[in-house]
Amino acid sequence: MSKYDIVYLGQRAEKLGFVRDTLEKVIRLADLLEYLNTNPLLKDSLGLKGGTAINLTIFNLPRLSVDIDMDYLISNSKEEMLENRKTINDVIER
């Protein structure tokens, strides 16, 4: 069964006390984070920060966040950063 099956999501959301569409967004974001963490370039270049990071890694807060905040982790020149940004965007858009 697909993780994005509307009936399954509706049942899970009701059981957990969340809105179905919000739950789906969070599941999709979790899949994106898994991809970012398994791609060597992205894993070493981007760091998760903010409320979602705290909720997913430290606390089990009963709230769903529908965004992810990331920081660029590499300390280099602006020109190198802009070049890396293009590469990172290309990898993510594939």
pLDDT digits (tens, 9 = 90+) for 68-93: 889 999 999 999 999 999 999 999 88
Residue ranges per domain, the chain?
22-93
Secondary element (H or E) of residue 65? none
- Hey, how many other C-beta atoms are within 10 angstroms of the C-beta on 16? 10
Q: How buried is residue 86: exposed, middle or buried, by Cβ count under 10 Å (0-12/13-18/19+)?
A: exposed
Residues 20 and 26: their CA atoms lie apart, in Å, by 10
β-strand pairing of 69-72 with 46-49: antiparallel
- Helix crossing, 20-38 with 6-16: angle to 10°? 100
Half-sphere exposure of 51 (CA within 13 A, CB side): 7
Report residue 21's pLDDT band, with 50, 70 and 90 as the boundaries.
very high
Mean pLDDT of 16-38: 89
What percent of the chain is predicted at pLDDT more than 70? 89
Q: Give residue 61's pLDDT band: very low, low, confident or very high (50, 70, 90).
A: low
Residue carrying structure tokens 């993510």: 92
